Amino acid sequence: MEYFAQQVINGLQLGFVYALIALGYTMVYGIVRLINFAHGDVFMVGAFIGLYTIERLQFPLPVVFLSAIIGCTILAVLIEQLAYRPLRHAPKIASLITAIGVSLFLEYFTSLRQVFGPNFYSFPRPFTVVGWEVRGIQVTNIQLVILAVTLVCLLMLQFIVYRTKMGRAMRAVSYDYVTAGLMGVNVNMVISFTFGVGAALAGVGGVLYGIAYPQVNTFMGFMPGLKAFTAAVLGGIGNIPGAVLGALIMGQSETMVSAYLSSTYRDGIAFVILILVLLWKPTGILGTRRSEKV
Amino acid sequence: MKRTLLLLALAVLLAGGGPGCKPPAGKEIKIGLITPLSGDVKTFGESVKNAFEIAVEEANAKGGVAGKMITPVIVDDRNDPTEASNAANLLINQHGVKAIVGSVTSKTTIPVSDIAQRYRIPTITPTATNPKVTVADGKRKDYVFRACYTDSFQGTVMAKFAREKLSAQTAAVLYDASNDYSKGIAEVFRDAFAVRGGKVTAYESYGKDDVDFSAVITKVKVSKPDVLFLPDYYNKVGLIAKQVKEKGMEGRLIGPDGWDSPELVKVAGEAIEGGYFSNHYSPEDTRPEVVNWVNKYREKFGQTPDALGTLTYDATKMMLEAIRMGNSDDPGKIRDALGSLKGFEGVTGKFTMDANGDPIKSAVIIQIRDGKQRFLQVVNP
């Protein structure tokens, strides 16, 4: 029982980090129907901003998160304006290929020696790690930080989407961007904003990831990006609570397969679950054909 | 995967496509070095390059070998098997090297050894310990040699050490299922530990890109092993060690020569303290060959040479010695000379090549104490 509880906690830690990345995929998809493959790499840039602000500039933790948020937001808005906006009315496949191109560009460009460099860097811990044992279950302050930061991000996102004018505009554009434009919503602005919010979450995710698994390199965004994208599809792409649910399921299934079967089967089984869910419900667990999509 | 295929296709076009690009035979002998100068094991690659350069400079200062000067050609393989194949093709077909030193890790050296064998270019890897480097499917690749002991020796040494010196009753093994080096040593250790009366309570694998090991560690922790064997390179070992500590798992961490990097302590910090690993040499050894070498390297690069650099120095010198013995850069003669080496005095010990092109030599055990590598003992084969 303790063993099970411990594994649930391990899975939660993984799931929450996936959730922060998955939200960016799902929001962008909800608005422009684009799978933004460069999102995992924005997450990587967030981790590197964390590395530099902690190691070189020695900023306090909240400022580190803020720097990653600002840096990633600017990057994502630039990507949107330079790479995706010119293709907005082109066939969907053109945008998709462009997204893959941007992803590869970011990975290889940042791996140049003049940028981040091609190596693995150890990520400094901004605080000392403290562990507690509660009834035989090991908990660390890292896990608590991940939990707290992720929850704060989710609440803020909920607030932005449902309680602000911009959030209403986002929902309107998601529902029908032609009509929303005719009603006076600045569609371009809303799309840029959505990219920015998604990237801000990825930036926070990057820093948390660096703290939890203290090693970064420029290709680190690929696997978490893929897993988070899977989580978004599993939960119903375009649906915000769905992305979080999907990410938590991914985290748990990966952990439980490692815990009770073998870690060799882990990724295989995670994707089998995805395929089964999609066979049963092609739109994902919480996705409906034309629900509120942001 | 698609990316890799595309790159491979491009490389084949570039490397094999150019007609008649063999340079004319001159007053020089080109020797290639394949080494990871970037990527996840770049500290390995850098010390290998430094040591290779020292060996070549020394030979040229003495007027070259077999009447010709040595020209080094150095290529980065990023510790990627595809890149390593490209590098080998590039060296052989474009630069026309007569011999190759490299590569460094087993997963990159296995493809390099296949290419070298196909083109019949004598190749010596300083550090790749997997048996498949010199022998594939029971067939000896007769142009390929190595300067280090093999995984089976290394795995056995650590199993014996854990049983006899650490009096471990139980052991757990965590390895990378996609890495020939890691998998090879893990298997040998598991069997050797069991043969000596120990019990392997957990034998778990992970993937190349994994960073979260909490689930497997929690699983391994249940059986409370006396030692945890981690056959992988320093970057992965550092991450795992850290999470082992955070999960509150007891038990001594032990491992193979992949731990040999100052980066290990940087990543793992206190979590790796007290761990043991097998290595090829220790700079604290007092034999005159070792003292001379350490001073030479320190003077030039301002740091203590690691085992990888030291093996490269020995490997390069053996290759040069083989050219000298045959007094020719003819690949067949170099191969015959390398295969017949007996009692060659290197920094890492005396080399005698066996029938598989693997040297018979001793290992050392090193402990990490106060964040430093401390020499513990020599283990003879």
What DSSP string describes B17-60? HSTT-PPPP-SEEEEEEEE--SSTTHHHHHHHHHHHHHHHHHHH
Q: Which residue, A210, A178, A172, A280, is CA-closest to A53? A: A210
**Secondary structure tally for chain A: helices H, strands E:** 11, 4
Please give the pLDDT value at position B17: 39
Q: What would the pLDDT profile of A174-231 be if each residue is shown by its tens digit?
A: 888 889 999 999 999 999 999 999 999 999 999 999 999 988 999 999 989 988 999 9
pLDDT of res. B26? 65
Nearest Cα residue in chain B from A6: B218
Question: Does the beta-carbon distance from A262 to B205 stay under 8 Å?
Answer: yes
Contact call for A118 and B3, based on CB within 8 A:
no
**Looking at chain A from residue 20 to 79, which residues have their Cβ under 8 Å from any Cβ of chain B?**
none
Question: Which of B42, B219, B267 is closest, CB to CB, to A215?
Answer: B267
Distance CA B12, CA B85 (A): 10
Distance from CA of A128 to the nearest CA of B (A): 11
ipTM over 0.95? The verdict is no
A224 Cβ contact list (under 8 Å, min separation 6): A17, A18, A21, A40, A43, A205, A209
**Mean pLDDT for chain A?**
89
d(CA B72, CA B99) in angstroms, rounded, equals 10
**pLDDT for residue A62:** 92
Q: A254: which chain B residues are within 8 Å (Cβ-Cβ)?
A: 215
Yes or no, beta carbons of A214 and B204 under 8 Å apart: no
- Rounded Cα distance between A104 and A115, Å, is 15
DSSP string, B90-145: IIIIIS--SEEEE-SSHHHHHHHHHHHHHHT--EEESS---GGGTEETTEE-TTEE
Q: How many CB pairs under 8 A join A and B?
A: 81
Average pLDDT for runs of 10 along chain B of length 381: 50 42 64 91 90 94 90 94 94 94 92 94 93 88 92 90 92 91 93 94 88 90 93 92 89 92 86 92 88 94 91 95 90 92 88 89 90 86 69
Contact across the interface for A259 and B40, Cβ inside 8 Å? no
Based on the number of CB atoms within 10 Å of its own CB, is A197 exposed (0-12), middle (13-18) or buried (19 or more)? buried
Chain B hits for A7, CB-CB cut-off 8 Å, are 215, 218
Buried b (16+ CB within 10 A) or exposed e, B97-108: bbbbbbbbbbbb
Q: Is the dihedral of CA B59, B61, B67, B71 positive or negative?
A: positive
**Looking at beta carbons, which residues of chain A come within 8 Å of B262?**
none
Which among A3, A10, A214 has the least Cβ separation from residue B267?
A: A214
Partner-chain contact B219 A259, CB within 8 Å: yes
A258 touches chain B (CB under 8 A): yes
- Contact A142/B at CB under 8 A: yes
* Element of type H or E holding B200: strand B199-206
- In this structure, what DSSP letter does residue A217 have? -
- pLDDT reading at A233 higher than 60: yes
| CA–CA gap between residue B246 and residue B225 (Å, rounded) | 16
Neighbour tally for A263: CB within 10 Å? 22
Average pLDDT over residues A55-61: 91
Reference B41, options B367, B254, B267; nearest CA is B267
Rounded Cα distance between B117 and B141, Å, is 6
Q: What's the CA angle centered on A212, arms A207 and A218, to 5 degrees?
A: 55
Cis peptide before B103 (omega within 30 of 0): yes
Does B207 sit within 8 Å of A263, measured CB to CB? yes
Q: Within an 8 Å CB–CB cutoff, is residue A267 touching chain B?
A: yes
Interchain pair B239, A212: CB under 8 A: no
pLDDT at A176: 87
Give the amino acid at B68.
Answer: K
Nearest residue in chain B measured CA to CA from A262? B204
Contacts of A138 in chain B (CB under 8 A): 246-248
- Asked if A119 lies within 8 A of B246 by C-beta distance, the reply is no
Say yes or no for a CB contact (<8 Å) between B212 and A120: no
Q: Kindly give the pairing relationship between strand A215-216 and strand B252-255.
A: unpaired
Q: Give the pairing of strands B252-255 and B227-229.
A: parallel
Give A12 to chain B, closest Cα distance, Å: 11
Locate the chain A residue with the closest alpha carbon to B178: A264
DSSP state of A126: S
Q: What are the DSSP calls for B210-262, one per residue?
A: ----HHHHHHHHTT--SEEE--S-HHHHHHHHHHHHHTT--SEEEE-GGG-SH
B128: closest CA of chain A, how far (Å): 21
Query: Residue A239 pLDDT more than 50?
Result: yes
d(Cα A156, Cα A201) in Å, to the nearest integer? 10
Is residue A90's pLDDT more than 50? yes
Token readout for A18 is: 């996936």
Residue A26 in 3-state DSSP? helix
**Nearest residue to A170 (alpha-carbon basis) of A26, A40, A17, A73:** A26
User: Å from B3 to nearest chain A CA?
Assistant: 10
Q: Which residue of A has its CA nearest to B265?
A: A122
Token output for B259: 């731990």
Note whether B208 and B178 are within 8 A (CB): yes
In this complex, do A214 and B222 lie within 8 Å of one another by their Cβ atoms? Answer: no
Contact criterion met (CB < 8 Å) for A120 and B235: yes
pLDDT 10s digits, B45-85: 999 999 999 999 999 999 889 889 999 999 999 999 999 99
Which residues have CB under 8 Å from B134's CB, separation 6+? B113, B140, B141, B144, B145, B146, B356, B357, B358
CB-CB: which of B205, B218, B239 is closest to A215? Answer: B239
- Chain A residues with CB inside 8 Å of B215's CB? 7, 10-11, 254-256, 258-259, 263
CB contact under 8 A, B248 and A215: no
pLDDT at A136 (0 to 100): 78
What pLDDT sits at residue B18? Answer: 39
- Which residues are paired to B255 by β-bridges? B277
- pLDDT for the residue numbered B3: 53
- What residues form DSSP beta bridges with B316? none
Give the tokens for residue A152: 């704060």
What is the predicted pLDDT for the residue at B342?
87
Which chain B residue has the Cα nearest residue A268? B207
The shortest CB-CB distance from B242 to any of A214, A222, A223 is to A214
Contact A258 B219 (CB under 8 A): yes
**Token pair 């554009």 is at which residue?**
A173
How close is the nearest chain A Cα to the Cα of B214, in Å?
6
